[in-house]
Structure 1
Amino acid sequence: MLATWRRYAGRHPRLVEAGFLLLVYAATGNQYNEGGPGRWPGLLLATAACISLLGRRSHPGAVVAVTSVCAAISGSIGHLISPLLLLPVIVALYELTLRVPQKTAHGYGIAVIALIVLTALLSDDNNQPWGLKTVSPAFWIMLPVVQGSAVRARRAYLEAVHTRAEHAERTREEEARHRVAEERIRIARELHDVVAHHMALANAQAATAAHLARTRPEQAQTILAELGTTTSSALRELQATVGLLRQSDDAEDLLEPSPGLGRLPELASAFGAAGLTVLVMVDGETRPLSPGVDLTAFRIAQEALTNVAKHAGASTARVELAYTVDRLTLTVSDDGGTVPRAPAPSGGFGLIGMRERAQSAGGRLQAGHRPEGGFAVTAQLPIHA
Structure 2
Amino acid sequence: MSLPSWMADVALAVGLFALFGLLLLVFAGTGAAGELTRNIPLAVAVCAAGVVPIAVRRWVWVSAVAVAVVTVAAVPLVGGNTTEGISILIVIYTAASRLRPTTAAGAVGIVVLGIAGALVLSHAQPLVWALNGLEVLIAFAVGSVRRTRLAFVSALEQRAIAAETTRELTARDAVMAERQRIARELHDVVAHHISVMGVMAAAARRTLRAHPEVADEALTTIEETGRATLREMRRLLDVLRDEQDTALPTTPQPGLPGLETLVGQVGEAGLAVQLTVEGEPVPLDSGVDLTLFRIVQEALTNTLKHAGPTRAEVVVRYGLADVEVVVTDRGKGPAGGGNASGHGLVGMRERVGLYAGSLYTGPGEDGGYTVRATVPFDRPAAKTRGSRT
Q: Please indicate, yes or no, whether the TM-score normalized by the shorter chain is above 0.5.
A: no
User: What TM-score comes out, normalization by structure 2 length?
Assistant: 0.41
Instruction: Give the structure with higher Rg (CA).
Output: 1
User: What TM-score comes out, normalization by structure 1 length?
Assistant: 0.42
